[in-house]
Structure 1
Amino acid sequence: MTISDQALVDQKISSIVATSPDLIKRSVEIEPTIVGLGPTHFVIGLDNNAWFYSIRGPKKDKPLVKRQSAVSRLLPSTSDFNSLAFKKSFVANIVSISLNAQFSSVLLADGKLYLNSIEEQEQNTIEKSKQFQKVFPEKDILLKIKPGKDFKVTCVELTNEFLIYGTSNGLIHHYVLKEWVLVNEIKHKYGIRNLAVNEKGVKFTFIDDKNEAYLCNPASNTMLRIVGGLPNSSGMIWNKIINSPAQNQSHRNIFVSWNNNSINTFSYQPFTTRGAECVLLGATRLPHGMIPITAINGVLTCLTASGKLSLVPLISNEEIKESNRTGTMLYVPKLSSEVETKNEIEQGRILQLYYSLGQMKEIWNLIPIIKTTKPWLTLVEQALHVLDILTAKRIYRQILGNVGMVLTLEDLEWIDDRNLIAGHVSSILGNISLAQDFFLKSSNPIAILELRRDLMHWEQALNLAQTLAPQEVTIIAKEYAHQLEFDGIIFFSQLLSTFFKLAKYSEAFAMYEKALSTSSTHTGHEDQLIDHQIACSGGLTRMTCRMGDIARGMKMLNGCTDKQLLSECGSILESLKQYPESGSLFERAEKWERAAESYIKAKNWTKVGSLIPLINNSKIIVQYGKNREAEKLYQDAALAYEKGRDYFSLVRIYVDHLKNIDAAVAIVRKTQCRKSAKLVSKFFQSIKDYKSVIEFYVMAGIIDEAFEIATQNDVVEHFAEIIKDETSTEMLLNISNYFENKKQFFLAGKYLLQCGQYSKALHMLLQCPTENSAAIDLAIETVGLANNDGLTHELIDFLMGERDGVAKEAKYIFRLHMSLKQYKEAARTAIIIAREEQMLGNYRAAHDLLLDNYCQLRNMKAKVPSELAKMLMLLHSYILVKVLIRLDDHEKGAQMLIRVSNSISKFPSHIVPILTSTVIECQRAGLKRHALDFAAMLMRPEYRNKVDAKYKKKIEQIVRRPDKDQVVESENKSPCPFCNSNIPDSLLDCPECKNQLPYCIATGRHMLFDDWTQCPHCEFPALYSHLKVVVQKNQQCPMCSKSLKLEQLVFVKDPTEHLRGKKEEKDLEEKGLEETGGFVKNTGNLEVKVMKGISKQNDIGGNSGIQIAPAATANMNCATYINV
């Protein structure tokens, strides 16, 4: 019955009156003192007479008792009675009457018990003398009773299958009615006062004359004393189960004991880890004057003093608080929300109570309410205790989430042997002794041996193995010996008594001996047997050494090749301070460092020296070095210190004893050891080598002393170079002040810049002589770092000559703009300078200047002006001519010269030589129309007289006698890398997609998508196949002139990213989105001053225009005479 059912009982049927319409009414002739009810009859009794009435319905043998609602399931439906079935008289007054469908049992006041057939008496077709009747006690039993002893039947219970009665002298008989067989006889030492049988009659309880209660289970031959019974108990009743699917089997084992005030509820648990048990669940208050009649589904039906029926639930929803009550009350909260407010102990008690009463539905409903694990652990422990594996598994899986326990319990589900299950459960609950008892009684007693081994209970496991599995003795003895040996080591490490330690070792020795002597019973393979014997022999050897028998132990190790055993025995002997022996064992085990340590303790330095080449332990090597030094073997000591990385001792040996100062200095510089540096500095101080003194003082961290020595000996510049990157601002200021006082303004400014004094640093640098370019470069760097408009103006005034009347080179203006991140102005300046250099014929200088500016702008992610890029392309095309002609590639050389000649105005210093070379190369490449055009240009009046006489006649002939049918030669075409349209190789502007095409630095032609590489230095693109040829010939990049090898060239499979960058530059140019620079002072005047400054300078790099040397052959083969 659930809580809701109990509430319904409390509210609606707490009192049932005789006038209820659900009751069967019958007027009887007398007022009875005894009433009995069976399935088909009821009986009333008065004195020694009994009247039997039938309650059958219209159909034969169909009882009128129907089980429907909470009320009607307890009461019969309304029906007409038949007439009186029969009347029976007895020889004494009636004490109690019990009925089933076939028999009636009547207990009389004289102690006799009569058992009669109801059907025979009702039909009255058989003579009374022949009717079935049994009288108890039987005659054969009475004959065994001594004369004068009282022997009466005191109580009786009748079920459908069994008759059970108890007597005044403690005898209990248990009969099967169908076969009429005495199945159980109990002889108790005290008289039986009360009997109560369960619903099926297979278990019963009784109370003796001493008010002690017992439970009997004849099926398992069990009789338990019930602890927790009430004083002056009036009786006991078993709970019956009617149409209640929510109840589990455990609810069928609930019974109650009562007296005038209380009801105690018990649970009989036939199978637990402690055997069969009767557990007191708790107490319920019994209202005054009520007498319990029966218990159904957890509800006790009581008769009140006024003759009414009242129902009392065994579980109360109202907490009873009485100071004089004893025991735990059977109380659960009425609402689930109240359960949540209880503490963990109370929640666990509630779960246990529901479980004991079999109300599993109530338990599962509390899963979302009870969220802590402790109550559920309490419940799962109870479930395991009663071997309820399914419930325990569900709790572990659904609530506790313990996967390991779920898997363990799933293995137990398929075991039928209850003793085996109880053994496993007991081990889970931690009761190993109890688990052993169960396992030994089970079908698999070897399980306890496995458990003891798993728990390392070696003594118990060894004793069990001798009887259960003799073949396991040898293995267990070895494992036990290992454990004893380990225990001895623990005793030793904890510095416990030597007696305990030796006792453990002696026991371990005995166990190893036993394991070895019984090894013939080993059931493993031959290899396993050999390993087992080796392990036991090794154990005996170790124990011999541990017990101090060194000589015997060393003798046992003669011829041993097991390095692990040798090492273990070496450790044992080392702990016993037997260093020579331990050293030899470690050496045999190839534990070189351990061997050396033992030999050092034994002072055997010769052995240590022989092991040094095999050792990497610095501590051991240094110890050996100290010994060699003490023996004055300094060279050996130095070698040891060097290998042991004791550099201070090594330096000390070199300086003090070996006088090898160069080696000492090299070590100090390599290791940067301060202590060693101080030692070396003392030597240099003694020979007055102050620069070296300062170096090692700084290395030793003696900065102030080093500065003092530097100032005293005028080597501050050397001191400053050493510490410039690792010193303090204060020291840098001291250094700059020193140089300022010495009028060394460049050095003063340099160190002021390093400590962040930008204004003062610029002031110092501008005081340097004008020809000091390093000072100007450093001043530009200072202004760039300062980012101060005032300092910028001051430096620009200096560069313009406003301070000394001398304008500085324009390259400094360019560097200033770059330092200030004014990339636009830097580019403009570079273009101005390059244009002037180009006008003067310094093409290589102009090319390198533009390339440097291009790379710097690209690295700064700044926009490269298109004018700068085009100038660089044109100059590179000019410089590339020489490279191509050396490769005997006259066609490409002619194309580059055509490109240059088309912009001949950019090369005013060498117009005639360039045009002459173009005519010659076009003739050689077969480009006769181009040769004619440029020859005609040379014949113009302003150029004609400047043509070299050696070529003038030939050029005039080309002009005067042209081929009338010649046409413009068509150039080879290749796909545009952007739109894939076929365009001439040397064309750098695609007429289809309007993109500016990247050009190859090896040929000057536009790039191809499937033949792409780039220089790893300047990152300019090139055609992979052509650049390889150039690099093979010149071993340098044609653009940046840096050294280049074939293996450095990487073929670019997908140059999309390179093309995207080029396309973005084109788009920006079309939109006019150019990056702006920062501060520019008087830009127009600045450009004029720059140009004037360049015009006054000499040609940088000399006249490098193209000049035509005399022809070497009649066909004007001039390739070898073209010089760039």
Structure 2
Amino acid sequence: MNTPKLLYTIEQPHGLGELYFLWQKGEAHSLLATTGTDATVAIHDRSGQLVERIKLSGLCAAMEWDNDGDYLAIITPNSNSVLLWECHANKRLNIETGLREAPSCLAWSYGEPLLAIGTQKGNLALYNHHTTKRIPIIGKHTKKITCAAWNKDSILVLASDDKNLSINNSDGDTLRMIALRDVPNDLQFSEMKTDERVGGENTISLVVGKRTLYLYNLLNPENPIELAFQQRYGSIVSYKWYGDGYILIGFSAGYIIAISTHIKEVGEELFQVKNHKDNLTDMDIFNGQAASCGDGQLKLLSVWAGGEAGGAAGGGVSPAGGAERCAYGADGRLLAAAGRHLSVYVTALPPLCAAHGTRALALTNLAELTVYQCIAVADEPDLAKSEPTALARYAAEAEPSAVALGAAHACYASGAQGWFQPLGGGRALRRPYPAPVAALRAAGPHAAALCRGRALLHAIEPPDPSQLERDSIIFPEPHMQGAKIVDIHLTSDFFIFVTDQGHIEYFGLEEWRTCSRYKHSCGVTALYCDISGARALLLDERRRAHVYSAPAAELCALPDLRDQLSYKGAIWDICLSDRNVFAVYTGDTINTYYYSPNSIEGSHVDFVASTSLLQDQIPLILFSGDVYCYASGGNVVKMTLDSHNTSGLADVDTEKRLTNQRKHIEKLLLLRRFSEAWLFCDAVDEDEMWRKLGEAAIADLNVEFAIRVYTKLSDVAMVWALEDASQIEDLPTLCGALCACVGRGEAAARWLQGGGALAVELHAARGDWARAELVAAAACPDRAPALALHRAEHLELTADYHEALATYEKSIITDKPNDIKTKEHNAKCEAGIARMSIRCGDVMRGVTTAMKYSHDINLLKDCAQLLEEEKQYTHAAALYDHAGNTEKAASLYIKLKSWLKVEALIPKINSPSIHLQYAKSKEAEGRYSDALKSYLKAQDYESAIRLNLDKLDDIDEAVNLVQETKSVQGAKMVANYFQNSDDPTSAIKFLIMSLCYDEAFQLARKNGKLSLYGEILIQTSQARPEDFKSLALHFEGEKNYLLAGKFYFHAGEYNKAMTHLLKAARSEGEENEAVSVAIDVAAACDDERLTRRLIEFLLGEVDGNPRDPRHLFRLYMAKKQFTEAAKTAVIIAGAECAAGRYREARDVARGLCVALRARGVPAPRDLAHALALLHSYMLVSRPPRPRPHPRP
């Protein structure tokens, strides 16, 4: 909040004593009426000059302006008439009330000049100034009427010292009388805040007894509200309604509080502030800014900021003569404070500002203009280089309503007059205009003013007598048929204006004639040009924004954003390198855009970023991302757009820094600042960022920079493509080539539409063969046949066969038939004709054409496949055969049952499927031997086995096949055969081979062949433990311990197996076999207890009958207990020696040594010694063989 600026002070305008004042109502009015102890009323204008002084018959008791500000009513305590002063005519009129007593209060109604006059004795008079009708009403109240108020529905409320409140209509009839508990004062009308919006001023408010606030709602008369406040606040001095049903209340102890009138919030303080130390004497509010007087000071505070203090750092101002009363003017820009003197302050200035180049002009007081240097130039001091600096201040001869800044003049207008103040000093030049000036522009020696839909362009200085025709000119010209100019702009070269009918006209100042005209589709509402005028932002009556390029005479729409509906203005960057950057602002944001006049997308506008804008700021100058804004109070402040903001780029956090740098690169690319973007891409060093930079440069037609980027990326293909594109001078062709580089085929096609060879290549590369052929027919006819061939191939792929056939036929080259390339081309065409003829039903043509190129295997296969799809199997088989696809041909011949042809092809075929088909067909014919051969070639062994069993009755061959192929199904068929042949033994064997264990078990048990079943089961690798267990249980039940133990062993139940085997070993006939199996059990399990049981049995510890030590030797060998095995072997050898069986002893020792060496275990010394000894003995004891002697 800015400190109020003192406009003027009038010392004791009415002599010593109290000073009272009242602002004129109506926003266009600013007269101030004052009165005091000299029995006069003085009327002052906006600058403090005395306009009129009205003498009274006594001291002024009250005065009141009507709501339009046309009439001032004044009463005195010693007269029963009312003095009426008419400001426009400066006339005075005495109005008799028709009552004898003196008036006590006044109130004007809304809508018509109807004056309510209350008297000292409680009577009422109504006076209509239009009709001069007076209505005296006696006995309205019993005591003095202290205050009155009208609402907009012409309801009159009166408050009286008789502690009553009366509600009356416009005729003075009493509608309701309300009794109060104390004397009322400060009567007001407003709208109480409710849940549902109810229009109209429906709430009466007043102060009762200076302590409570009384609220009476006309819509709820039975429930008035009376609010009391803390005693420490003191008495109520003043209160004001503001906002949506809020009330600001000032108390005598210096407190100011805000409350809401919503029924749910009544009584709750929104905020409370002690604005004055000792006392508060008056208060007023306008647009959320409150002013209060107390302790001789004037203070401001913002009600929307929770009572935040304003003024001089919150300390307020101290008017000369103190401050007892204060009030805002009708427009809120002036604030008057009265004590002994009258002081008027400026609290808000009209936002009048302009800019030219690097300078800005702003209204800094009601009649003061300040020129600011915003951007330093080479010959200016350093003090202007950082922030905007005030260069000069100029006093205006009148309060400006429009301002402009030129290269040499500060210009302003007030009403229909204009002044041009030379910046170098001197007297301002004055110029009259034909009507009040709505807008003023200046540039160089010229100025332009907009006056009621017409514009006047004129020279600022007096013209050269030889060029009087160039002194001034009025627009619009007659040909515009009554169009009204709505905005103007002036540069050093052009005067530019737009009309409500959509005309955009450029008038050349040098040529002094119109240079350019353009007609928009609808009316234009505003125009914002760049420094040269070549580019302008237009806002039209449809609330659309466009960039208008005068050289190209074209419009380019802005991206569709919601803010577009509330655009208030725009500025263009005045930096030469950023001349395409502009910013459009609303009330709280400023959006940055970039206008690209030439790119692969054509002319277009890119949105860059959005920046928050403070309230009441108006951007004036944009220079390389820095915006210089007019701020309230006439200041110029600098801010940086978010689109150019570099904060966070050097963050210590690596991840945050990289993220910020990536975002910054994106903005730099939108701003086309490629050199800066290169530096950040180098810092980030990510391929993705480099590619975005390259693509952005290509999109902006900056081919040289794009080559640098793709060279950095080592993208050779792209560099070559860009180097080729850099040689293109035609803009559409260049754009098309660059679109093709970035893969934007549709855009490239649009650019190259109607182009030459390059267009043909692009359309061909995109696969748009129809367009390529069309362009080639005109641009390069020699390429048309090849393109037609490609088009035909494309049509073939899209199943447009008839069109493809016609195109293939059209693509045949008739010239130079013996040329190699022509032959190759025509061969492709003929191949296409062959395929498409078959597709279109002309089979014979297709086959004949294909056979012409029988050396083309792929063509024959393709045509054969097509014929097969069309179920033309005979032709298809023939083509397959010619193509060398014998198997496919044979398959089709089989379908056709052309067995002779099949038999001719069978020797060449290796495919099992063909042989299988052939075998089935032969079997069906009863030629079983041929079928068997083909089944074997097809590796369908089950069918071969079936054929041997069912048709050829060759069981031996079937058995051989089963044994060779291990076919489960074949084994099952053989098993069934043996069952039917009453050969259970063979049946059991083959049932087991076919994995039919349960059937084999049942068959074996039925035929008493379980032992055989078990032996066969042992030999198979797919036997299940439960199958062995079934056998073991069976033999256990039959007390056959040997087989029970044997099958328990194979079932994995080693404990039971050992138990049964040891029982069986007690039988002499089964001992060796039982012990042998028991040894296998002990070797298979890791249970030492079972091993120990077997050893004890072998040693005779169980039944006292030791067994052959060879069993023990075998056990140790099986358990890999080689040391014990060696000892046992030595014992066995010793026993054999003792029995005289030395050879057996040596064989035992030698066998063990060999077994040990095979396992990598050295033979024990005793064993080796025994073996050596026994072997030596065998050599010595061998009897000599007789030698044969020759016969004599």
Give the TM bin, normalised by the shorter chain. 0.5 to 0.7
Match of 1:750 among 1046, 1054, 1059: 1046
1:553 to 831, 834, 846: 846
Match of 1:270 among 583, 597, 604: 597
Equivalenced residues, count: 787
Q: Deviations over 1:810-861 (max 9, x none)?
A: 3333222223333322233334445676899977766654454345445656
Q: How far did residue 513 of structure 1 move?
A: 1.0
Match of 1:480 in 2: 791
Question: What residue in structure 1 maps to residue 749 of structure 2?
Answer: 436
**Alpha-carbon separation, structure 2, partners of 1:288 and 1:657:** 106
| Alignment partner of 1:1105 is 2:1180 | yes
2:812 is equivalent to residue 516 of structure 1? yes
Q: Given the alignment of the two structures, is residue 535 of structure 1 paired with residue 828 of structure 2, yes or no?
A: yes
Q: Does 1:645 align with 2:978?
A: no
Mapped contact 2:370–2:392 kept (Cα < 8 A): no
- Residue 1089 of structure 1 is matched in structure 2 by none
Distance 2:532 2:976 in 1: 110
Evaluate the alpha carbon distance shift between residue 519 and residue 649 of structure 1 in structure 2; reply closer, same or farther with a 3 A threshold.
farther
Aligned position for 2:1126 = 827
Q: Name the one with the larger strand percent.
A: 2
Farther off after superposition, 568-577 or 433-442: 433-442
Summarize the alignment of residues 893-932 of structure 1 with structure 2, pairs less than 5 Å apart: 910=1177
Equivalent position of 1:957 in the other structure: none
Which amino acid counterpart does residue 539 of structure 1 have in structure 2?
G
Q: Deviations over 1:339-385 (max 9, x none)?
A: 999xx9x9999986675457899999999999999999999988876
- Deviation for aligned residue 1:506: 0.9
Relative distance call for 1:519 and 1:574 in structure 2 (3 A) is farther
Q: Is the 8 A contact 1:843 1:1105 kept in 2?
A: no
Any conservation in 2 of the 1:352–1:382 contact (CA below 8 Å)? no
Whose helix fraction is larger, Structure 1's or Structure 2's?
A: 1
Q: Structure 1 residues 146, 136: closer, same or farther in 2, change over 3 A? A: farther
Residue 767 of structure 1 is matched in structure 2 by: 1066
Alignment correspondent of 2:86: none
Residue of structure 1 equivalent to 2:516: 185
Deviation, structure 1 residue 237: 2.8
> Contact between 2:355 and 2:621, CA under 8 Å: does it hold in 1?
no
**Contact 2:362 2:634 (C-alpha < 8 Å) held by counterparts:** no
Contact 2:588 2:615 in 1 (8 A): yes
Aligned partners of 2:567 and 2:584 also within 8 Å: yes
What are the residue-to-residue correspondences of 1:1111-1122 with 2, within 5 Å? none
- Tell me, yes or no, if structure 1 residue 507 matches structure 2 residue 800: no
| 1:855-894 correspondence runs (5 A) | 855-857=1154-1156, 864-868=1163-1167, 874=1172
1:157 maps to 490
Listed as ranges, the matches of 1:65-464 within 5 Å are 66=382, 69-71=385-387, 92=432, 104-107=445-448, 113=457, 135=470, 155-158=488-491, 162-166=493-497, 172-173=505-506, 185-186=516-517, 196-199=528-531, 203-205=535-537, 215-217=547-549, 222-224=554-556, 236-241=570-575, 249=577, 251-256=578-583, 266-279=593-606, 292-303=619-630, 306-311=633-638, 315=642, 356=670, 386=700, 408=718, 411-412=721-722, 415-416=725-726, 417=728, 419-420=732-733, 422-423=735-736, 426=739, 432-440=745-753, 446-464=757-775
Structure-1 residue corresponding to 2:964 = 670
- Per-residue CA deviations over 1:491-521 (Å, capped at 9, x if unaligned) read xxxxxxxxxxxxx211111121122236869
Q: Displacement, 1:544?
A: 1.3
In 1, the alpha carbon distance for the partners of 2:601 and 2:358 equals 43
> Which residue identity is paired with 1:104?
P
Between the aligned partners of 1:211 and 1:804, the Cα distance in structure 2 is: 120
Shift of 1:588: 2.0
**Which string of whole-angstrom CA distances, capped at 9 and with x for unpartnered residues, describes residues 1014-1063 of structure 1?**
xxxxxxxxxxxxxxxxxxxxxxxxxxxxxxxxxxxxxxxxxxxxxxxxxx
| Change in CA separation of 1:355 and 1:565 when aligned onto 2, cut-off 3 Å | closer
Please give the alpha-carbon distance, in whole angstroms, between the structure 1 residues aligned to 2:483 and 2:792: 68
CA distance in 2, matches of 1:113, 1:84: 23
- Corresponding residue SS for 2:939: coil
Is 1:64 aligned with 2:388?
A: no
Structure 1 pair 676–802 and aligned structure 2 pair: CA distance change class (3 A)? same
How far off its partner does 1:587 sit? 1.9
Relative distance call for 1:116 and 1:624 in structure 2 (3 A) is same
**2:990 equivalent among 676, 696, 701:** 696
Helix, strand or coil at the partner of 1:517: coil
1:674-728 CA distance string (max 9 Å, x none):
4433443344345433322222232334434433443454544433222124433
Residue 866 (structure 2) aligned to one of 572, 595, 601: 572
In structure 1, distance between residues paired with 2:531 and 2:666: 24
User: Is 1:762–1:779's contact at 8 Å kept on the other side of the alignment?
Assistant: yes
**Which structure is richer in relative contact order (CA contacts within 8 A, separation 6 or more)?**
1
The 2-side partners of 1:771 and 1:281 are apart by 103
Query: What are structure 1's unaligned runs of at least 5 residues?
Result: 1-13, 18-32, 46-50, 56-60, 122-127, 243-248, 318-329, 489-503, 880-906, 911-1102, 1114-1124
TM-score by length of structure 2 reads 0.54
The CA RMSD measured in Å over matched residues stands at 6.2
Query: Paired residue for 1:323?
Result: none
Matched, 1:633 2:927: yes
Aligned mates of 2:920, 2:353 — CA distance in 1: 113
Code of the residue aligned with 1:135 in structure 2: it is R
CA distance in 2, matches of 1:507, 1:15: 86
Name the stretch that deviates more: 848-857 or 361-370. Answer: 361-370
What residue in structure 2 maps to residue 606 of structure 1?
900
Partner of 1:921: none
Q: Report the Cα distance in structure 2 between the residues aligned to 1:291 and 1:1110, rounded to whole angstroms.
A: 138
- State the match for 1:795 in structure 2: 1094
- CA deviation vs aligned residue, 1:567-596 (integer Å, no higher than 9, x gap): 222222222222222222222222222212
The residue type paired with residue 537 of structure 1 is E
Tell me, yes or no, if the aligned pair for 2:733 and 2:751 is still in contact at 8 Å.
yes
Which letter does structure 2 place at the counterpart of 1:309?
V
CA separation of 1:861/1:62 partners in 2, compared to 1, >3 Å: closer, same or farther? closer
Q: 1:439 is aligned with what amino acid? A: L
Q: Distance in 1 between matches of 2:1130 and 2:467?
A: 140
Q: For the residues of structure 2 that align with 1:869 and 1:181, how far apart are their CA atoms?
A: 135
Deviations 1:357-415 (A, max 9, x none): 578999999999999999999999888765678999999999xxxx8999748854774
Contact 1:316 1:332 in 2 (8 A): no
Between the aligned partners of 1:630 and 1:151, the Cα distance in structure 2 is 102
Secondary structure at the aligned position of 1:590 is classed as: coil
For 1:252, the aligned partner's letter is R
8 Å CA contact retained: 1:439, 1:448? yes
Paired amino acid for 1:750: K
Task: State whether residues 372 and 390 of structure 2, in contact with CA within 8 Å, keep that contact through their aligned partners in structure 1.
Answer: no
Structure 1 vs Structure 2: percent identity of aligned residues? 25
Could you tell me how far apart the structure 2 residues matched to 1:425 and 1:727 are?
76
CA displacement at 1:452 relative to structure 2? 3.2
1:572/1:355 Cα in 2 relative to 1: closer, same or farther (>3 Å)? closer
In the alignment, is the contact (CA less than 8 A) between 1:155 and 1:192 conserved in 2? no
Residue-by-residue CA offset, 1:70-122 (whole Å, 9 max, x unaligned): 315x66699xx99966668577569899888xx533447896655689xxx9x
Answer whether contact 2:707 2:722 (CA < 8 A) is retained: no
Which shifted more, 623-632 or 831-840?
A: 831-840
3-state DSSP of counterpart to 1:516: coil
CA contact (8 A) 1:519 1:533 kept: no
Question: Quick one: distance in 2 between partners of 1:452 and 1:213?
Answer: 36
Structure 2 unaligned spans of 5+:
1-309, 314-350, 364-368, 394-420
* Aligned partners of 1:260 and 1:288 also within 8 Å: yes
Residues of 1 paired with 2:480 and 2:894: CA distance?
101
Distance 2:599 2:797 in 1: 38
Which segment is superposed worse, 374-383 or 598-607? 374-383
SS of aligned partner of 1:1105? helix
